């Protein structure tokens, strides 16, 4: 397994369109996280899955955002009716445990530009 994979790497979309991003975690990792990172800022937590269950959602995750992790494997993050403020890097991370060093492995992100 080569790590966490995110597709696409870059996405340019027109305002009002829907977009979907995919994250393939490390296969044995049961925890999956989505973060959003705007220019010059640190990543901000969006949502978290343990297996297929979505256990927590940030207030940043408006009703235009939805995330799924069917069968506890890959995850998708969909943004409906995109706005210019949605332009950001969307990072996915996975982990096997969340205590101690609890290695979080991050993907390279999907950079979204809304024009």
Partner 1 sequence: AQKITQTQPGMFVQEKEAVTLDCTYDTSDPSYGLFWYKQPSSGEMIFLIYQGSYDQQNATEGRYSLNFQKARKSANLVISASQLGDSAMYFCAMRGDTGRRALTFGSGTRLQVQP
Annotate each residue in 9-38 with x if it binds partner 1 (CB under 8 A) or - if it does not, as one string: ----------------------x-x-x---
Q: How far, in Å, CA of 110 to CA of 89, rounded?
A: 6
Using the CB atoms, write b or e for 75-95: b if 16+ within 10 Å. bebebeebeeebbbbbbbbbb
Peptide bond into 8 cis (omega under 30): yes
Residue 20 or 50 with smaller CB distance to partner 1: 50
Could you tell me the smallest distance in angstroms from the CB atom of residue 67 to partner 1? 13
Could you tell me the smallest distance in angstroms from the CB atom of residue 30 to partner 1? 11
Radius of gyration of the CA atoms of the chain, in A: 13
Residue selected from 12, 16, 17, 41 as contacting partner 1 according to rule CB under 8 A = 41
| Residues of this chain that bind partner 1 (CB under 8 A) | 31, 33, 35, 40-45, 48, 55-56, 89, 91, 93, 98-109, 111
């Amino acid at each position: 397994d080569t790590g966490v994979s995110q597709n696409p790497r870059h996405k340019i979309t027109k305002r009002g369109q829907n977009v979907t991003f995919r994250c393939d975690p490390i296969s044995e990792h049961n925890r999956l996280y989505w973060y959003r990172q705007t220019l010059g800022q640190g990543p901000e937590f969006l949502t978290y899955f343990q297996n297929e269950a979505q256990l927590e959602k940030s207030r940043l995750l408006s009703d235009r955002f939805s995330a799924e992790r069917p069968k506890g494997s890959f995850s998708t993050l969909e943004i409906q009716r995109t706005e210019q403020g949605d332009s950001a890097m969307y990072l996915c991370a996975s982990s096997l445990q969340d205590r101690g060093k609890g290695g979080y492995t991050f993907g390279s992100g999907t950079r979204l530009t809304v024009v």
